[in-house]
Structure 1
Amino acid sequence: MAWAVPVENFSLLDHNGDAHELYYYSDADAVVLIVQGNACPIIRNALPDIREVRDRFVDENVVFLMLNANPQDDRNSIQAEAEEWEIDLPILVDETQLVARGLGVTRTAEAFVINPSNWELAYRGPLNDRLGYERQKAEADVHYVADAIHAVKNGGELDIQTEAAKGCLINIEEPASEISFVDDVVPVLEQNCMRCHVPGGIGPWSMSSYEMVKGFAPMMREVLRTNRMPPWHADPHIGTWGNDRSISIAEKKLLVDWIEAGAPRGEGEDPLGEIVATIEENRSSVDWPLGEPDFIVDVPAFEVPATGVVEYQNHEIASNLPEDVWIRGIDVKPGDTNVLHHALVGSNEPGSNSRGGVFNNFLGGYAPGVIGDFAPEGTGTLIKAGSNIAIQMHYTPYGKTVVDETQIGLYFHDEPPERYVRHGVVINFNIAIPPNTKAHEEGAYIEFDKDAELYSILPHSHYRGSSSTFELELPSGERELLLSVPEYDFNWQTGYAFAEPKHVPAGSKLIHKTVYDNSNQNFANPDPDKTVTWGLQSWDEMLYGAFVYRWSDETSANPIHSAARFRAAQTVGFLDSDMDGGIQSDEIGERLKKQLEPAFTHFDANGNEALEVDELFNYQKFAAQRRAQAQRQQAEVQSN
């Protein structure tokens, strides 16, 4: 059959910013892709027919998508078109035109029926025979797409004769010609790839020569089409980031055009060897990328077994610092990147309660995608004299017994900075992800009681994390989407630093949500039949939205941060399931309801039958004072 050609995998964002990877739909009986274009009268006239065939298969396992590859259309205009014409199918936005080019798309209103059992094209052509140019029939006589779906579902072949689809021509741009490897390709590789793909880097192979790049060129094309590389996962249409590592549309098209042209060598001397040599020379001459630290902490050596589960390794190491110091930067040098999943670093004052471990006074850490860095200018974190350095190490065996000897480098301010920098987390310990569920959302928030400046945000979940967002809800109720990560990848723990600090007015809520995929379609899922709850190991889950900020009016000479109140705000933020600003009794379990009964009875100051942050904070202070008083009385009795 002329249609039976392979359809390659791809990943695109739709007009709402949701990600769609074609091969994710391997459990569908059929995938239908219909070409859309704004202002095209034929596709607009076809919308009732599209809805009719979609509704015919609504209870069957068929996926319907649309594809827009018009260079003149963008997400905003496609959203407007979808709203005006009540298009309720996802419209995949093919900004590079690589998907459309691969399918041979030329016009709108053409439909592609794909068989997920072998990823071959089962049909391409018009939806039915109702529409022509400037003419249309009242009813269709032949329903090509519906017939093709039935054929795919029943395992038969489609035996029909059809004309080419009628639709608006799409301006598919020709592939770039005469691309220079030396002048065009190498600068893109150096900018986007060669921080990792060099000898000793975390990339699995080194871009050390033209021959190496050409050998891996088909794989490069695949990971570019599926957005697996480069590892930057923020929706490019939301937010502006100071540490943006995304590849541009033009750069992606250039690389794919070059690869599809056969990756020609062209003229000029291969510069990759010299670039790699320079990178290696710089690396060997500078043991620490941020410069020699003022203070180095040697993490106790740890033997990581070849297989099995390694419990978190927690260390408290005496700093023996004779005086207070202000930290301006931190870097973690892993002993073995193959086994070190993450390292978190904090400090605890002498004699303090160290139950919070690294989070009592968090300093920073390491994970794939997180690199050493300095605090925002004019800010720092205070470590008191004699404090212990708290370290949390998470190791994951990889088939070989190794000894990890990680080091932590701390960088000091010469003088106290003007302002404190703070680290916070939006967290939810109550998550429960039901089994065999493709998209389950959990959320939490933190409410700011004072004006603040937000520097960066980082979403964290485990194997089942699928997508994440951060929103800022202002006191007026207006919401702004700060970050969307449509395709979360557990392998990369990226923090997103605002190009300019984001002002957060007092009374605002920072809302963090994550969608989890606890189904068989999630290849990384350890057990789709299990209800998944909060836990530290990677097969457990987390809703954990880290952020770096400062209080607008806080200075190093005048600290105003209350760790206890912040913890109360965290608690309200994950127990308040409807996010209205207070905990109602029906939002918590019986055990916790009993514990908080005195708070509801005596500390609900405004009488609204809900515990808001200050009310919970006041109750917790009262309860702590009562516990301390009871302990003193017990000590007196024992001493007598």
Structure 2
Amino acid sequence: MANAATGRQSEGSDASPVGQQVATFTLPNAYGKPVSLTDFEGKKCAAIVFLGTECPLAKLYGPRLNDLQEKFGDRGLQVIGINSNKQDSLTELAAYVHRHEIAFPMLKDKGNVVADAMKAERTPEVFLIDANRVVRYHGRIDDQYGVGYARDKKTRSDLAIAVEELLAGKSISQPKTEAVGCHIGRTKQVAEQGEITYAKHIAPIFNSRCVTCHREGEIAPFTLTSYDDTQGWEDTILEVIGNNRMPPWSANPAHGEFANDARLSEQEKELIEQWVDGGMPEGDPSDLPDPPVFTTGGRLTSLIKLSRCET
């Protein structure tokens, strides 16, 4: 299925996983201990949730999954978190577990093997399975948070409702919803050489358009100040620049042109897409531009910067 924003092929499938059986797997948890899906065979159901350590929605929903485990654990639910992101190390996963006080198993899917088998694409993304490992619900956790919006409160607790219905022996009233969030950062073959490289073509774009927010200590969820920073985020980057969500820019064009317009040109978007399609070669480090220098200004400067980053 083509991505409407970029014209790229989606890595998933139009076929719903609901009704399909999940194969067993064994993965290390955040501290390296092997954990198998068969370890939870005594449970009536399991919510397998793909999460990332830096994805804003995954950060919001990790603690909420704790609440779900506490509410339904004694009745037979087991929440299982899986991190398939190339860019998230075991150390970072352990820090995520500690920071958000995750009380359910959080597993590392190196090489995104389980994510590929289950055709998972997003973080967070839920697969609720029954005692026979058959998917009974697939999609989001609830409708409070999404890409570009946050409601004051949720209006439908999709996963909790599905768990309640499954434990009660009922049919799932809404077995599928759309999972929204960051793309899973899959392991891919990186090209050693290419016509368009990070050092010569992409770093200058990111430096001028993105790193105001995407740097250490700023409001963006991940940094983009080096080649390594880009790895695993390429599909999310293509999506958000394709639908003009990033870089954020809310100035009214009726007031004229702005010297600090952060929007990418069509040529810049095309260069980034061609770089990703070409295998994301790093290029010659000697081609790297000088890193940008940021000044800390007064209140007006801070407010302008915050507006650009949070929009």
In structure 2, C-alpha distance between the alignment counterparts of 1:89 and 1:173, rounded to whole Å: 25
Q: SS in structure 2 opposite 1:57?
A: helix
In structure 2, C-alpha distance between the alignment counterparts of 1:114 and 1:163, rounded to whole Å: 15
2:161 is equivalent to residue 147 of structure 1: yes
Q: SS in structure 2 opposite 1:67?
A: strand
Q: Is the 8 A contact 1:15 1:92 kept in 2?
A: yes
In structure 2, C-alpha distance between the alignment counterparts of 1:105 and 1:49, rounded to whole Å: 20
Q: Is the 8 A contact 2:128 2:137 kept in 1?
A: yes
Give 1:79 deviation, angstroms. 0.9
Q: SS in structure 2 opposite 1:47?
A: helix
Give 1:97 deviation, angstroms. 1.3
Flag structure 1 segments of 5+ consecutive residues without an equivalent.
177-640
Give 1:92 deviation, angstroms. 0.5
2:92 is equivalent to residue 62 of structure 1: no
State the AA in 1 paired with 2:52. Answer: G
TM-aligned CA distance change 1:174 to 1:122, over 3 Å = farther
In structure 1, C-alpha distance between the alignment counterparts of 2:189 and 2:45, rounded to whole Å: 31
In structure 2, C-alpha distance between the alignment counterparts of 1:104 and 1:134, rounded to whole Å: 24
TM-score normalised by structure 1 residue count: 0.26
2:95 is equivalent to residue 80 of structure 1: yes
Give 1:114 deviation, angstroms. 0.8
Q: Is the 8 A contact 2:138 2:176 kept in 1?
A: no
Give 1:72-111 correspondences, 5 Å limit: 72-111=87-126
TM-aligned CA distance change 1:41 to 1:20, over 3 Å = same
2:182 is equivalent to residue 168 of structure 1: yes
Flag structure 2 segments of 5+ consecutive residues without an equivalent.
1-15, 191-311
Give 1:174 deviation, angstroms. 5.8
State the AA in 2 paired with 1:167. Answer: G
TM-aligned CA distance change 1:92 to 1:48, over 3 Å = closer
Q: Is the 8 A contact 1:30 1:62 kept in 2?
A: yes
In structure 2, C-alpha distance between the alignment counterparts of 1:110 and 1:38, rounded to whole Å: 14
State the AA in 2 paired with 1:25. Answer: F
State the AA in 1 paired with 2:123. Answer: T
Q: SS in structure 1 opposite 2:59?
A: helix
In structure 1, C-alpha distance between the alignment counterparts of 2:73 and 2:177, rounded to whole Å: 27
Give 1:107 deviation, angstroms. 0.8
Match of 1:345 in 2: none
2:38 is equivalent to residue 23 of structure 1: yes
| Structure 1: 4+ residue segments shifted above 3 A | 173-176
State the AA in 2 paired with 1:165. Answer: A
In structure 2, C-alpha distance between the alignment counterparts of 1:164 and 1:55, rounded to whole Å: 25
Q: Is the 8 A contact 1:127 1:145 kept in 2?
A: yes
Match of 2:298 in 1: none
In structure 1, C-alpha distance between the alignment counterparts of 2:43 and 2:147, rounded to whole Å: 33
Q: SS in structure 2 opposite 1:59?
A: helix
Q: Is the 8 A contact 2:81 2:104 kept in 1?
A: yes
In structure 1, C-alpha distance between the alignment counterparts of 2:168 and 2:175, rounded to whole Å: 20
1:32 to 47, 52, 57: 47
Q: Is the 8 A contact 2:18 2:136 kept in 1?
A: yes
In structure 1, C-alpha distance between the alignment counterparts of 2:176 and 2:41, rounded to whole Å: 28
Give 1:175 deviation, angstroms. 9.2
Q: SS in structure 2 opposite 1:96?
A: helix
Aligned residues between the structures: 175
Match of 1:45 in 2: 60
Q: Is the 8 A contact 2:139 2:178 kept in 1?
A: yes
**Structure richer in helix, relative to its length:** 2
Q: Is the 8 A contact 2:80 2:105 kept in 1?
A: yes
Q: SS in structure 1 opposite 2:74?
A: coil
Give 1:169 deviation, angstroms. 0.7
Give 1:467-486 correspondences, 5 Å limit: none
1:135 to 149, 168, 178: 149
Deviations 1:573-626 (A, max 9, x none): xxxxxxxxxxxxxxxxxxxxxxxxxxxxxxxxxxxxxxxxxxxxxxxxxxxxxx
In structure 2, C-alpha distance between the alignment counterparts of 1:41 and 1:26, rounded to whole Å: 32
In structure 1, C-alpha distance between the alignment counterparts of 2:28 and 2:17, rounded to whole Å: 30
Over the matched positions of the two proteins, sequence identity in percent amounts to 23
Aligned-pair RMSD on alpha carbons?
A: 2.1
Q: SS in structure 1 opposite 2:78?
A: strand
State the AA in 1 paired with 2:73. Answer: V
Which has the higher relative contact order, 1 or 2, with Cα contacts under 8 A spaced 6 or more apart?
2
**Structure richer in strand, relative to its length:** 1
Match of 2:19 in 1: 4
State the AA in 1 paired with 2:44. Answer: D
TM-score normalised by structure 2 residue count: 0.52
In structure 1, C-alpha distance between the alignment counterparts of 2:167 and 2:96, rounded to whole Å: 32
Q: Is the 8 A contact 2:47 2:78 kept in 1?
A: yes
Give 1:339-418 correspondences, 5 Å limit: none
CA radius of gyration, larger in:
1
Q: SS in structure 2 opposite 1:72?
A: coil
Match of 2:137 in 1: 123
Q: Is the 8 A contact 1:106 1:172 kept in 2?
A: no
